[in-house]
Amino acid sequence: GVGKSAIAQTVAEDCRKEGWLGAAFFFSRSRGSDDPNRVIPSLVAQLFVTFPAYKALVSPLIIANPAILEHTLDVQFQKLIVEPLLQLKDRRLRAEPLLFLLDGLDECRGDTYQQQLIRLIAKFAALLNISDFPFVWIVTSRSEWHIRAEFYKFQCLREELVIDTPEAREDASILLRDGFAAIRNKYSNMFSKQASWPAEKQLSVIHSSVSGFIAIASSILQFIDTHEIPNPLVHLETSLSYLETPSLSMSSNPLDSVFMLYREILDSIPSKVLPITKKILFFLVLHGRNLPTQILANVLFIDQATFYASLYRLHSVLIIPSPEIAGELPMTFYHSSFLIFLENFYMNQGGTVIDPYPETYYVQWCKLWGWMGSNFSRESLLCMLFSFLGIINELISP
């Protein structure tokens, strides 16, 4: 995997070697591993191997009542996870922590199940004091709105790891440094021993482009390392050139694996709101990046409820101001790679974001002008007119 999944896999392997891993579940739609009903049985099966005392306690329960594995998530979690582990905690059979890992929760089938799993884990964590906390849960996910909202409902000991922080940038730096070292060792016959690779200037450009996003760093390393004709020096130069000036002419690019994630996110948008989402993205890419969010919605004549519903699936790629501050702040991209994706691929391959009838914006601008005429002075209207004419011209230009 790339990004958070690659890190989760590494954490799971390291903890397994130390004897700390209780169980892990990796959600993945592409691999058909997204069924929420498989989660608890999988965790139980792994615990039978990693924690013999747990097996001795739970195995008789399942033998006596095998139908328990077909009960609801709530019942399974309570009877097979919470109650047995609390009993074993009281016996103090382990000195070291026991780790549970759920990776890619956003790829679990159904928002309701995603929220339910968070709720079950949080309630379990709330039962334990920090002084006797032998169980650690790691949950990784894209920053979807409904997932964040569910996490914030509960008061329990937790730590949230976010991107684009000094710590995240340092993690990305370590990943890049180790990744480039591994590539150099793999193709050692292509480098002179004295040469420094990548050069400091090259590394600085990549660090700036990555900006703490592990998925971006992983994608670039994968592109440099994986080719039919291996030549990391050339592929690094190609990556740097692309990051500076994205090109549609490239059959593959260093952000391909990230673009696949973006396609999955956009494909998850319900068809009923997709036309409105496309309209918002189109305008945002063209001229809305400095426009307060509320004004952007007004320009497109989209009411508040419809506007936020249309962007519901995009909270992991867009920073969308809440209604309280939407009149002051514009929407922004979590990472410039999503803007690159929209500008150079999603909007140009099949026109899936561009409105096929841009002349309809004339009507919207006329309506907007009438509204503004009753709310702004003549001088302000004249200043804005020249800006709007430029925008309209670009909207209808081929």
pLDDT digits (tens, 9 = 90+) for 74-93: 999 999 999 999 888 877 77
- 194 and 324 belong to one structural domain: no
**Which one of 203, 220, 254 terminates a domain?**
254
Residue 125 lies in a domain: yes
Q: Say yes or no: 249 and 146 in one domain.
A: no
C-alpha 274/C-alpha 309 separation (Å) is 10
Q: What separation in angstroms does the CA of 263 have from each of 266, 267, 346?
A: 5, 6, 8
Q: Specify whether the backbone of 164 is left (phi greater than 0), alpha (psi in -120 to 50) or beta.
A: left
Question: Which element (helix H / strand E) includes 25?
Answer: strand 21-26
Angle at 28 between CA 22 and CA 30, to 5 degrees: 150
In a domain, 215, yes or no: yes
Same domain, 64 and 101: yes
- From 220, 254, 288, the end of a domain falls on 254
* Same domain as 142, residue 34: yes
Whole-model pTM: value is: 0.68
Residue 73's Cβ-side half-sphere holds a number of Cα atoms within 13 Å equal to: 15
- Tell me how far apart the alpha carbons of residues 219 and 241 are, in angstroms, rounded to a whole number: 15
Are 54 and 178 contained in the same domain? no
Q: What is the pLDDT of residues 27-77, one digit of tens each?
A: 988 888 999 999 999 999 999 999 999 999 999 999 999 999 999 999 999
Output the domain CATH number for residue 29: 3.40.50
Domain end point (choices 186, 219, 254):
254
Domain-located, residue 136: yes
Percent of the chain exceeding pLDDT 70 equals 81
Q: Kindly state whether residues 71 and 97 are assigned to the same domain.
A: yes
pLDDT digits (tens, 9 = 90+) for 244-294: 887 656 667 888 888 888 888 888 899 999 989 988 988 888 766 778 899
Give the ranges where the chain is alpha helix by DSSP (H).
4-18, 39-50, 52-64, 73-77, 83-91, 111-126, 145-151, 166-186, 200-210, 214-225, 232-244, 256-267, 274-283, 293-299, 304-310, 336-341, 360-373, 378-396
Question: How would residue 164 be classed by pLDDT, with cut points 50, 70 and 90?
Answer: low
DSSP state, residue 157: S
Q: Radius of gyration over alpha carbons of the chain, in Å?
A: 25
Counting the structural domains of the chain, the total is 3
**Whether residues 249 and 268 fall in one domain:** no
Please give the residue range of the domain that contains residue 70.
4-151
What pLDDT shows up at residue 209?
87
Whether 82 maps to a domain, the answer reads yes
The answer on 215 and 331 residing in a single domain is no
- Contacts made by residues 88-95, CB under 8 angstroms, sequence distance 24+: 88/51, 88/53, 88/54, 88/57, 89/128, 89/132, 89/134, 89/135, 91/53, 93/53, 94/134
d(CA 195, CA 189): 12
Q: Are strands 332-333 and 98-103 parallel, antiparallel or unpaired?
A: unpaired
The closest alpha carbon to 143, from 339, 333, 337, 11, belongs to: 333
Instruction: Please indicate, yes or no, whether residues 193 and 292 belong to a single structural domain of this protein.
Output: no
SS3 state at 137: strand
